[in-house]
Structure 1
Amino acid sequence: MVNPYRGEVALIIDGQRHVLRLTLGALAELEAGLHSGSLVELVQRFETGAFSTRDVLALIVAGLRGGGWQGTAADLLQAEIAGGPMTAAKVAAELLARAFMLPEAG
């Protein structure tokens, strides 16, 4: 089970469930690796739907690394993501949103 208060999101890669989380270290690594802009600009790209597949991959890798995974983006190039690219984009957007806000009270 994921904990939204910790910013966690789950994703199934190659049949294995992973918990992703954007820790401060993962965010710093993500920002350092962005090919264009800052984290604020990345958020704006997701808000306007102008994000790239590179943005999605960078967020997934950062979230996996924040969750303790030791791999690299190259490790995901041939990986099977349950739900395909649309699920990957949704998880990336959710990761970004959860990193900067509390979940709604239920």
Structure 2
Amino acid sequence: MPNLRRGDAELVLGGRRFTLRLTLGALAELEAAFAAESLDDLGRRFASGALSARDLVRLLGAGIRGGGADLSDEEVAALPLGEGLEAVADAIARMLLQAFGSGGDRSPRP
């Protein structure tokens, strides 16, 4: 069950309910995956809105693992989008807004 105070978002994929959470470990994973030098670099990348499907898989994978599920990016990529891509993008955006805030030009929205 998601804890909104902790910055969780919830998403159903492949008939399974997942909690998405950006832990410090998940953020470090994303820094490495996106070759970001800092959290500010990472936030700017996400705020640009120019994300590929591969980027969404990385974000979703890190969030799912941060939420406690043990799935690889390959397993995440294979999950059916039962609620559609818009639901995935919305859940990722909520997760990013919790981690990076909603101020100014740093508001991420995939």
- Same-fold status (TM-score > 0.5): yes
- Report 1 or 2 for greater relative contact order, CA contacts < 8 Å, sequence distance ≥ 6: 1
> Any residues of structure 2 matched to 1:19-98 within 5 Å, and which?
19-34=19-34, 36-38=35-37, 39-98=39-98
Q: How far apart are 1:76 and its partner, in Å?
A: 2.0
Tell whether the 8 Å contact from 1:42 to 1:51 is kept in structure 2 after alignment.
Answer: no
Q: Residue deviations 1:16-44, cap 9 Å, x none?
A: 1111100001111111112x545434433
One-letter code of the match for 1:43? G
Structure 1: runs of 5 or more not aligned? none
Work out the percentage of aligned pairs sharing the same amino acid.
Answer: 42
Structure 2 length normalisation: TM-score?
Answer: 0.77
Q: Residue deviations 1:74-104, cap 9 Å, x none?
A: 00222112322222112112111111349xx
Structure 1 length normalisation: TM-score?
Answer: 0.80
Tell whether the 8 Å contact from 1:46 to 1:93 is kept in structure 2 after alignment.
Answer: no
